[in-house]
A and B are shown apart, each in its own frame.
Chain A
Amino acid sequence: MKILVAVKRVIDYNVQIRVKEDGTGVVTDNVKMSTNPPDDNAIEEAVKIKEAGKATEVVAVTVGEEKAQETVRKALAVGADRGIHVKVDGILEPLAVSKILQKIVDKEKPDLVFMGKQAIDDDCNQTGQMLSALLNWPQATFASKIDVKDNKLEVTREIDEGLETIEINVPAIVTCDLRLNEPRYASLPNIMKAKKKPIEEIAASDLGVDVSPRLELLKVEEPPKRKAGIKVANVAELVQKLKNEAKVI
């Protein structure tokens, strides 16, 4: 079984983002960037499946600018075998990314494609589902547990009502929840080894995919700030305020 894992470079989850003064986006210059957190879970799961002898190869792919390659290198350092970097400038919509990934799937013919359930920058939560639609493959979204059984996967999904378990035939797409596993850290020797693993570079323009934007970003702004509250001295005062001032209890 061959697993393709898609990873995205985003602003690090610990960074308090700042909106650009001209309202065209958020500040990314000199801001710490990392792999999208649930994409780390996707890589971890693929590597674990390979370590369990149920997969033969793990290929990490990213779609993005020059520096996006760092996320592929990180995936190689935690156990992916080789990488693919589809180079493109600017921000692509999930629809365009899924069309590019479809081309990579056509070329690589993986049995499984894993990725995070959502990117923490645009919070779209679309790419995995769109890719499975384009391929007409089954989709197991928001996965918190994956059991590989021959040519099937049993996947537990996090849904609003609780948990749902489905069985999907490969080839299939799985989007990963943060609860799926605990991603490992790359050891120094593995980081060194990863530098020798191959990363194939492909220009997005060579894939013959229309990636032109369909959406216009008119404005990015700060959300309305909450008015500063007060500190109360003790519990009695708190309950009085809730009862008589806020009138919520």
Chain B
Amino acid sequence: MAVLLIAEHNNKELRPFTLNAATAASQIESDVHAIIIGQNSSDAAKQLSELPVVKKVISVEGAHYENFTAENFAPVIVKLAENYSHIVCSANTFGKNLMPRIAANLDTSQVSDIIKVISPDTFLRPIYAGNAFATIKSNDAKKCVTIRPTSFDPCESTGGSAPIEKMDASDEFSNTKFIKREEIKSDRPELGTARIVVSGGRGMQSGDNFKLITEIADKLGAAIGASRAAVDAGYISNDHQVGQTGKVVVPDLYIAVGISGAIQHLAGMKESKIIVAINKDGEAPIFSVADYGLEADLFEALPQFMEELNKLNTIQK
């Protein structure tokens, strides 16, 4: 039986992690169908049909799907489920909100946030904030799986031409009403997908001091991250938070400035390829995961860092 991938999108285009989820789906079973539920989302549906790993697209449109409400999405997928062995989507806030609602309706025990497909019924997933890995075998006939997007490469995005099948909308769930969404707009790369992330912690001492980080991030074309301590102290808004309760990031380069390295923070960044720690406390736990540690006062080190970057002839972007 085929695998059903739930596409994440903004009605205009696919969200990038749909490509990572598609890769995971294709590792479970080569016959991947993808469903896109939205309103005026035909461009995104076309994009989905161009992913070479997707063999068929199912498109469902309706005004009550415009804002991705799980209570409206779940019945559509439950209705289709009998044709599929697995239902797959990303373990970001979209998928985390939606998939358990589907799984419970199908009487299936969901496998959350997998980082590896071992076989079609066996998966690797982190537990305890990534401090242990569990190998889980699902004995349910139908499997509901969410995938950690940063653990799978994005699939090819062009070259495919899967047929797009329309499906009728289900009834509206009237007890939940969307009011508004406040998206944080920025010219910077998105934290979840950036090649370089520069993060500040409590050691920054104020929101104003984050400009030292901003400057370096601009120079490197990097996203800006923060520890929970910095967010809780009000230095920076919470969409920058990296960690167990924030975002999990896997950049090529992660620079942690004034971050001690609490377990919850490490859970969000320790899979980064190269980690740099700048901290004046030489005993800070962040140094235990850092490839390059600099024991220094960040208020001296960051201006020097900027100076050194300015001396370089070229900087990779």
- A188 contacts the other chain (CB 8 A): no
Of A93, A168, A231, the residue contacting B109 (CB under 8 A) is A93
Write out the residue numbers on chain A whose beta carbons fall within 8 Å of the beta carbon of B196: 248-249
Q: Report if A238-B110 is in contact (Cβ < 8 Å); known contacts: A16-B263, A214-B139.
A: no
Give the dominant DSSP class at A's interface.
mixed
How far does the alpha carbon of A19 sit from the alpha carbon of B126 in the complex, in Å?
12
Q: How many A-B residue pairs have CB under 8 A?
A: 257
Q: Which residues in window 40-74 of B have CB below 8 A to A?
A: 67, 69-71, 74
A236 with B308: CB separation less than 8 A: yes
User: How many A residues have CB within 8 A of the partner chain?
Assistant: 82
How far does the alpha carbon of A172 sit from the alpha carbon of B70 in the complex, in Å?
14
Closest to A159 in B: B93
| Surface stretch bound by B, among A51-59, A129-137, A191-199 | A129-137
Write out the residue numbers on chain A whose beta carbons fall within 8 Å of the beta carbon of B109: 93-95, 213-215
Write out the residue numbers on chain B whose beta carbons fall within 8 Å of the beta carbon of A229: 275, 287, 289-293
How far does the alpha carbon of A63 sit from the alpha carbon of B195 in the complex, in Å?
43
Closest to A14 in B: B263
B181 with A129: CB separation less than 8 A: no
Which B positions have Cβ atoms within 8 angstroms of A?
67, 69-71, 74, 91-94, 96-105, 107-113, 122, 126-140, 173, 175-184, 192, 196, 220, 228, 238-239, 244-245, 247, 252-253, 263-264, 270, 273-276, 282, 287-296, 301, 304-305, 307-309, 312, 315-316
Which A positions have Cβ atoms within 8 angstroms of B?
11, 13-14, 16-17, 19, 26, 38, 93-95, 98, 118, 120-134, 137-142, 144, 154, 157-169, 172, 177-179, 213-223, 226-232, 234-236, 238-239, 241-243, 246, 248-249
Instruction: List 15 A–B pairs whose Cβ atoms lie within 8 Å, in order of A's numbering.
Output: A121-B128, A123-B129, A125-B113, A129-B96, A129-B97, A159-B94, A165-B179, A167-B176, A169-B176, A216-B138, A223-B133, A229-B290, A229-B291, A229-B292, A242-B253
